[in-house]
Chain A
């Protein structure tokens, strides 16, 4: 199914957000996630089922003022 991750379309064969992160190379990375604009805590990613057309945001620590 097609999932947009940080604005880029990906064809992923996964069922949940945890699997998507694994496939996309975020394993062990300190990231925060949201699906369709709704925050998904790290502990709830396996329960967050993805559907075709979902928009996933994966954010990482960054410099800030």
Chain B
């Protein structure tokens, strides 16, 4: 998978939030094989060290970071947060979130397009958290995005793919644009389904972090994503409405 000129062996991007401990987070990242981990920015008092300790842990993992603008509800907040993230993390990558609905954490796609254009013009490589809407996707590409991250379902809901038809249409409409399903994945089977649709990768967090055994679940997702991709590349058969015998009928014995 190639994202903004970076070749990645793993198609799994992993979030770093909500793990039981930093040690479990580190183990989960290793078990996932992910080369990209999402991070964020929050206030920290000068006497605290939690942010510094976290950053040290992530750097020790040797992964590429994808900072996000989580929690931003306006274009100004998102753009300023992106600039602050670039200042700390020294990467042009930004997972752009402009939230429009507080309950569903649904992207404000109008603000998203505007913020994406502003950031792309400023040299950012934008990973927009968007819906599966084709027109919005087209506007994001026009704004300078070279990766699209449609949601599977609302963030943290674990509901899987709410609109398979929409994601399939997005894949068909933009065959050459890297698509990462971001948010809503709850189980490895959801990730397999996404990968079988032909998306390029999956970004998930809660499904691993909140599992009973996050490290084991990280490994399960890694294998699921590999299996789903392999299945897509192997070109699955089309479903039929009626049975077709798999064992040859010719030569069947007459035993009635």
Chain B, interface SS category:
mixed
Select B70's contact among A41, A42, A59, A65, beta carbons within 8 Å: A65
Select B55's contact among A25, A30, A39, A57, beta carbons within 8 Å: A30
Q: How many A-B residue pairs have CB under 8 A?
A: 109
A64 touches B38 (CB 8 A): yes
Q: Quick one: closest A residue to B17, CB to CB?
A: A63
Whole-angstrom distance between the Cβ of A13 and the nearest chain B Cβ: 16
A60 touches B41 (CB 8 A): yes
Known: A7-B43, A24-B46. Is A61-B54 also a contact (CB below 8 A)? yes
18 A–B contacts, CB within 8 A, in A order: A6-B43, A30-B51, A30-B52, A30-B55, A31-B88, A33-B84, A37-B76, A38-B80, A39-B87, A58-B43, A60-B55, A61-B41, A61-B52, A61-B55, A62-B39, A62-B51, A64-B68, A65-B18
CA distance A60 to B47 in the complex (A): 12
Residues of A participating in the B interface, judged by any CB pair closer than 8 Å:
6-7, 21, 24-26, 29-34, 37-39, 41-42, 57-65
B40 touches A62 (CB 8 A): yes
B58 at the binding interface (Cβ < 8 Å): yes
Could you say which of A37, A59, A60 has the most chain B C-beta atoms within 10 Å of its C-beta? A60
Residues of B participating in the A interface, judged by any CB pair closer than 8 Å:
15-19, 25, 38-47, 50-52, 54-55, 58, 67-68, 70, 76, 80, 83-85, 87-89, 155-156, 205-206
Whole-angstrom distance between the Cβ of A36 and the nearest chain B Cβ: 11
Chain B residues contacting A60 (CB-CB under 8 Å) are 41-44, 50-52, 55, 88
CA distance A24 to B44 in the complex (A): 11
CA distance A62 to B89 in the complex (A): 11
Known: A59-B44, A65-B16, A65-B38. Is A30-B88 also a contact (CB below 8 A)? yes
Chain A residues contacting B89 (CB-CB under 8 Å) are 61
